[in-house]
């Protein structure tokens, strides 16, 4: 029988109760609270549609694996790391030296900028896109060239390739892109890599495929086959999205061994906990569960899209577990209003000041959340 979250917490004993306690929003620096003037004791919202997590939690097999891993909690996680690296290498048809593990793919994005960016080797990225590469680049004094997305909210790949000349160190391509939910097909990515090889032959191209498992557009393909012929192409993946392990922290890069070796010195040693290693391996062995999560996301996303479109709002194409809805009003004020009713949505992403980024929760959550959205959309 599948383990519920409650079973899991009970299984942890007395510590479970403390884990279940709900901390205050302000105390966590939660995405939901960022940029909003909320009292520090505002409770964490009951419905969290702000961070593109999997609302259903991990696979039961992953929860079982986490529980078993606790028996090894006093040991450094060398063995779990080795096992995960081997499992990922097998899954992607490469040798383990082609895999770098990270404490979430956030760590991968950070070490990639550390390894390949410098004061005279800028980072080229899009705007808006996932911010971590820009954050670490600014911290390190790596110059940043941000290329606005186009009118259809897709990455402007031509402009990004041009911006890479003459000496970009690293180009960040989030495909599908967070927060716009748009995707580029395999052909467009191929052409982009060819263009970059002309404009900036030495630049490393980092393709972030955090939402890979949600893509349904048949023109899309992972860039992993490309990196087998190009040492300067790298793919980042995560267990935080469809696999439901955002709180456990596991991500990875796939690239040729020389590229991985250049990043490894920047990695946090033992950055994958025993629990994360075990849970990630169990998830890789549970493809039926992943397919079920894809189905749930597809259905609930269609329900959510129909809600907004039924009210006359435009929702852009989405190849992810979130949507961007143009609610034709200040999305920051809308977000704050929804929070007062216990629903957290994504923050505002300039220049799209009237777009709300809404992660897809469970069907039950979306039924309740859309009642809150309806209420606040009805008020002028
Ligand atoms: C595009 C993208 N990349 C990377 C991440 C980071 O995920 P994690 O560090 O949990 O693997 C996120 C999280 O939202 C994301 O949207």
Give the whole-angstrom CA distance, residue 169 versus residue 97.
Answer: 22
Give the whole-angstrom CA distance, residue 62 versus residue 8.
Answer: 11
Q: Please choose from 51, 130, 319 the residue to mutate so as to test ligand 1's pocket, defined by most ligand atoms within 8 A of CB.
A: 130
178 in ligand 1 pocket by Cβ < 6 Å?
yes
| Token pair belonging to 230 | 């190009």
What is the CATH architecture assignment of 5-58+287-378? Alpha-Beta Complex (3.90)
240 in ligand 1 pocket by Cβ < 6 Å?
yes
pLDDT at 72: 92
238 in ligand 1 pocket by Cβ < 6 Å?
yes
Asked if residue 164 lies in contact with residue 124, where contact means CB atoms within 8 angstroms, the answer is yes
320 in ligand 1 pocket by Cβ < 6 Å?
no
Give the whole-angstrom CA distance, residue 343 versus residue 355.
Answer: 16
Q: Please choose from 240, 246, 322 the residue to mutate so as to test ligand 1's pocket, defined by most ligand atoms within 8 A of CB.
A: 240
Give the whole-angstrom CA distance, residue 121 versus residue 202.
Answer: 10
Cα(24) to ligand 1 centroid in Å equals: 23
Domain boundaries, the chain: 5-58+287-378, 62-284
pLDDT in tens, the chain (380 residues): 444 444 444 444 433 333 444 455 554 455 556 667 666 666 678 899 999 999 999 999 999 999 999 999 999 999 999 999 999 999 999 999 999 999 999 999 999 999 999 999 999 999 999 999 999 999 999 999 999 999 999 999 999 999 999 899 999 999 999 999 999 999 999 999 999 999 999 999 999 999 999 999 999 999 999 999 999 999 999 999 999 999 999 999 999 999 999 999 999 999 999 999 999 999 999 999 999 999 999 999 999 999 999 999 999 999 999 999 999 999 999 999 999 999 999 999 999 999 999 999 999 999 999 999 999 999 86
pLDDT at 211: 98
What atom of ligand 1 comes closest to residue 246's alpha carbon? 10
Summarize pLDDT for 118-169 with one digit per residue, the tens: 999 999 999 999 999 999 999 999 999 999 999 999 999 999 999 999 899 9
Nearest CA to ligand 1 atom 12: 210
Cα(9) to ligand 1 centroid in Å equals: 26
3 state DSSP class of 259: helix
Strands (E), the chain: 47-49, 99-102, 123-127, 144-148, 170-174, 204-208, 233-238, 251-254, 314-315, 322-326, 343-345, 355-359
Q: Which residues pair with 121 in a beta bridge?
A: 118
- The phi, psi pair for 121, rounded to 5°, reads -130, 90
- Domain 62-284 fold: 3.40.640
- Non-local (6+) Cβ contacts of 134 within 8 A are 123, 125, 144, 146
3 state DSSP class of 372: helix
Q: Please choose from 238, 252, 349 the residue to mutate so as to test ligand 1's pocket, defined by most ligand atoms within 8 A of CB.
A: 238
What atom of ligand 1 comes closest to residue 177's alpha carbon? 1
Q: Which residues pair with 11 in a beta bridge?
A: none
52 in ligand 1 pocket by Cβ < 6 Å?
yes
Q: Is 270 left (phi over 0), alpha (psi -120 to 50) or beta?
A: left
Q: Please choose from 53, 104, 234, 358 the residue to mutate so as to test ligand 1's pocket, defined by most ligand atoms within 8 A of CB.
A: 104
3 state DSSP class of 184: coil
pLDDT at 32: 58
Omega of the bond prior to 351 within 30 degrees of 0, cis? yes
Count of alpha carbons within 13 Å of 200, Cβ hemisphere only? 26
- The phi, psi pair for 70, rounded to 5°, reads -65, -25
Give the whole-angstrom CA distance, residue 81 versus residue 257.
Answer: 17
- Placement of tokens 């609302």 in the chain: 55
| Token pair belonging to 377 | 């959309």
Cα(360) to ligand 1 centroid in Å equals: 15
54 in ligand 1 pocket by Cβ < 6 Å?
no
Cα(314) to ligand 1 centroid in Å equals: 26
What atom of ligand 1 comes closest to residue 239's alpha carbon? 11
**Chain length of the chain:** 380
- Placement of tokens 């300039």 in the chain: 350
| Token pair belonging to 270 | 């033992």
Cα–Cα nearest to 34, from 376, 343, 344, 373:
344
256 in ligand 1 pocket by Cβ < 6 Å?
no
pLDDT at 1: 40
What atom of ligand 1 comes closest to residue 105's alpha carbon? 11
* Distance spanning both ends of the chain, measured CA to CA: 48
175 in ligand 1 pocket by Cβ < 6 Å?
no
What atom of ligand 1 comes closest to residue 211's alpha carbon? 1
- DSSP designation for 19: H
- 112-139 burial code (b ≥16 CB/10 A, e <16): bbbbbbbeebbbbbbbbbbbbbbebbee
């Amino acid at each position: 029988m599948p383990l519920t979250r409650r079973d899991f917490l009970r299984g942890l004993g007395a510590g479970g109760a403390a884990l279940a306690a709900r901390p205050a929003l302000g105390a966590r620096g939660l995405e939901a609270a960022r940029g909003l003037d909320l009292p520090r004791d505002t409770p964490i919202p009951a419905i969290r549609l702000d961070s593109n997590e999997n609302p259903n939690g991990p696979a039961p097999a992953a929860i079982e694996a986490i529980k078993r891993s606790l028996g090894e909690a006093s040991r450094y996680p060398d063995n779990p790391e080795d096992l995960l690296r081997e499992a990922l290498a097998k899954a992607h048809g490469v040798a383990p030296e082609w895999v770098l593990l990270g404490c979430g793919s956030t760590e991968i994005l950070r070490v990639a900028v550390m390894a390949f960016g410098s004061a005279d080797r800028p980072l080229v990225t899009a705007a808006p896109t996932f911010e971590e590469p820009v954050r670490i680049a600014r911290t390190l004094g790596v110059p940043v060239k941000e290329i606005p997305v186009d009118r259809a909210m897709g990455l402007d790949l031509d402009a990004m390739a041009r911006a890479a000349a003459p000496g970009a160190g690293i180009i960040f391509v989030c495909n599908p892109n967070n927060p716009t939910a748009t995707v580029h097909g395999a052909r467009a990515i191929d052409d982009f890599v060819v263009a970059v090889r002309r404009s900036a032959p030495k630049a490393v191209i980092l393709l972030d495929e955090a939402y890979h498992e949600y893509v349904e557009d048949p023109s899309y393909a992972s860039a992993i086959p490309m990196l087998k012929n190009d040492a300067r192409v790298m793919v980042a993946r995560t267990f935080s999205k469809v696999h439901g392990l955002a709180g456990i922290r596991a991500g990875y890069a796939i690239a040729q061994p020389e590229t991985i070796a250049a990043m490894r010195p920047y990695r946090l040693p033992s950055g994958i906990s025993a629990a994360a290693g075990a849970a990630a391996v169990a998830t890789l062995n549970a493809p039926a569960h992943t397919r079920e999560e894809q189905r749930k996301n597809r259905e609930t996303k269609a329900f959510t899209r129909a809600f907004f479109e039924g009210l006359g709002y435009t929702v852009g194409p989405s190849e992810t577990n979130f949507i961007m809805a143009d609610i034709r009003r200040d999305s920051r004020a809308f977000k704050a209003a929804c929070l007062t009713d216990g629903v957290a949505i994504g923050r505002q992403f300039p220049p799209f000041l009237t777009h709300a980024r809404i992660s897809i929760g469970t069907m039950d959550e979306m039924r309740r959340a859309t009642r809150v959205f309806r209420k606040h959309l009805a008020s002028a």
